[in-house]
Structure 1
Amino acid sequence: MLAHQFCELYNQHRQSLFAYLYSLVTDRVTAEDLLQETSLVMWREFDQFEPGTNFLAWARQVAFNRVRECRRRRQREGMVFSEEVVRQLADERAKMDRHLQDRWDQFQQCLTKLRDQDAELIDLYYANDATAEEVCQQTGRGIHAIRKAIKRIRRSLFECVGRNLPGRASS
């Protein structure tokens, strides 16, 4: 049961955790290595995680400690940012993730406001990764009509997200 919980939470947050690490070390290979180290530590210490709390916040703390250890190793090699710079990068990344999550949540809300016909078109085009030509074949609509509709829907979604983000006055 514990293994299932860990795997489910880890898989749900793996990409965000990698992005966090990558933003701190700015080297893909190092970030991948740190993700592996972090995963092992998280697995060994999963019994210390409080169910119902923020798994990603806990994972970031474990990852941050791995970054600090990596920095210490690199410091001995003479290649390192100051502790303060790394902490600031970590804080900025956390703010960015919150902002991106807010935008994603708002995007999901805006999708629910689309007309059924527009939602179906977006689903065909993006969820199925179809080309405009393939959507034409599936819907019987012309290529120019499809491209124009996709452009209109994207603009509408963009405006909806921007209008409804937390901290912005609604129109």
Structure 2
Amino acid sequence: MLESSFSPQFNEQPASGKVQSERHLLFTKELAASYWRVYGCILSIVPDRNDADDVMQEVGILLWQKFDQFELGTSFTKWACTIAFHTSRSFARKKRQHTGVALSDETLRKLAVAHSGVSELLELRRMHLASCVSQLADKDRKFLLTCESRHGSVADMARDAKVPAHRLYKKLNRLRQNIADCIRRSLGGGDEI
């Protein structure tokens, strides 16, 4: 993560240590929550992971330096992705000048727009997923979350409960289908989720 050696330049009077600490905590929380979406935005323009890592590091520094420009109550992810897009585009432009091989600015813009649309759709689906899962009975929700966790082996659960594994697999599939139907209804009844 970012070191606190970067000193943000706020437009306000020097803040007390507590306010600075709260801003730093808020920044860290927001960056951690949106890190992979911002990194995905960078990868859509800078496909080489080593280059993308370098760009992400630069973006993290820029986000911290410009954090006073972020409007509380708006989407940090969208703001961060905008900065990531411009930083990535600048990197790609320099790389194109150096190597002679890169995508045009227009293609990069179209990629960023497509990535943004997909990200928004996925975020909307995540919100509906959380809502649909919360509507399950406690017992079903715990079962589903255990199965979906990395440590939730249906075979082990069946053995512990002394029931046939196929019965638990059927239950899991039924719950997944119920969740998919709930998300589909929440999104307006489309055929695909």
Scaled by the length of structure 1, what TM-score is found?
Answer: 0.89
SS at match of 2:163: coil
SS at match of 1:120: helix
Aligned equivalent of 1:159, options 152, 157, 181: 181
In 1, distance between residues paired with 2:154 and 2:189?
Answer: 36
Map 1:97-112 → 2, pairs under 5 A = 97-112=119-134
CA displacement 1:50-78 (0-9 Å, x = unmatched): 22222111111111121121122112120
Map 1:124-143 → 2, pairs under 5 A = 124-127=146-149, 129-143=151-165
Q: Is the 8 A contact 1:102 1:166 kept in 2?
A: no
Q: Percent identity?
A: 26
Q: Is the 8 A contact 2:46 2:92 kept in 1?
A: no
In 2, distance between residues paired with 1:138 and 1:106?
Answer: 32
Counterpart of 1:121 in structure 2 is 143
SS at match of 1:6: helix
Say yes or no: does 1:9 pair with 2:25: no
Q: Shift of residue 148 of structure 1?
A: 1.2
Q: Is the 8 A contact 1:20 1:90 kept in 2?
A: yes
Q: Is the 8 A contact 1:132 1:146 kept in 2?
A: yes
Larger helix proportion, structure 1 or 2? 1
Gaps of 5+ in 2: 1-21
CA 139–119 in structure 1, closer or farther in 2 if over 3 Å, else same: farther
Counterpart of 1:21 in structure 2 is 42
Counterpart of 2:54 in structure 1 is 33
Q: How many residues align?
A: 169
Q: Shift of residue 127 of structure 1?
A: 3.3
Counterpart of 1:58 in structure 2 is 79
Q: Shift of residue 166 of structure 1?
A: 4.7
Q: CA RMSD in A?
A: 1.9
SS at match of 1:52: coil
Scaled by the length of structure 2, what TM-score is found?
Answer: 0.80
Q: Is the 8 A contact 2:159 2:165 kept in 1?
A: no
